[in-house]
Amino acid sequence: MKKITLAALALSVWALSACDKFEYSPYEIRLKDDERQLNQKNIERIQQLNIPRNSQITFALISDTQGFYKDTEAMVAHLNKQNDVQFVLHNGDITDFGLLKEFRLINERLGKLKVPQVTVIGNHDAVNNGKQLYKEMYGPYDFSFTAGHSKFIFINTNGWEFKGEAPDLDWLDRELQDRDEYDQVFVLSHIPASDASFGSPEKLQRYHDLMEKYKVSMSIHGHGHSFDAYQLREGGTRYLNIGDAADKEYVIMRATNTGVTFDRVKIEGELGFK
């Protein structure tokens, strides 16, 4: 009888494990095949759009979905009504505590977007074992892709969580060296270069210098949980901070060969900012 009971228990554990319903620990990393390398999969979807170099690119910007599950659902439903949006870019803090369950809960909601979605790592995504989880689920911390006339560069700027190893500004400099090949270049990260957790004052200054040197079209960030748009000097790179999901808002950006405009969109209505 004892042997039968132990065998039944072992079989139950195996069955639960096999169907991914048994959680050994909230810190575990056990991904399904369709949960791996999501950024690269979505970049391939964007590239399959074959956006012409002489046409407008329209994309949406969201940030800080961390724990705001109902708000994220509402935002996704609203975005799905925007028929001209070609893809969505997420400026980090997908999660609050970097746990697999959180990544999955948000991915279930963002997975309902009708268009591809690409994300950069946030500081909350890098706590606990979130660094490894992000890398396995989304891919490299620093990466770029091109679409039509534009280049999109994503860089990890979570200096505190990566003990000063981020941001890798040498890598960013190399990524920007082909600037002249594109009409528009966008740099996206979570923490803006106005926050102490970005890094030393020297790193902050070098980042701003790179933006000006290469005439970056927009430097786009999250982290602050509120919308802000500004320039450090007239005619220079424009900086944009995206509000969080709890604000029930996002930004739609339109890039042409000659310029970039954007609208701040509230789910209850639209606030036009150009």
CA–CA–CA angle 130, 47, 187 (5° rounding): 55
Query: Rounded to whole angstroms, how far apart are CA atoms 107 and 78?
Result: 17
Q: How many CB atoms lie within 10 A of CB 56?
A: 15
Q: What is the pLDDT along the chain (274 residues), one digit of tens a residue?
A: 444 455 554 444 444 444 445 444 555 667 788 889 999 999 999 999 999 999 999 999 999 999 999 999 999 999 999 999 999 999 999 999 999 999 999 999 999 999 999 999 999 999 999 999 999 999 999 999 999 999 999 999 999 999 999 999 999 999 999 999 999 999 999 999 999 999 999 999 999 999 999 999 999 999 999 999 999 999 999 999 999 999 989 999 999 999 999 999 998 754 444 3
Sketch out the chain's domains with CATH numbers.
Answer: 32-271 (3.60.21.10)
pLDDT, tens only, 130-157: 999 999 999 999 999 999 999 999 999 9
Sign of the torsion formed by the C-alpha atoms of 76, 116, 255 and 83: negative
pLDDT, tens only, 176-193: 999 999 999 999 999 999
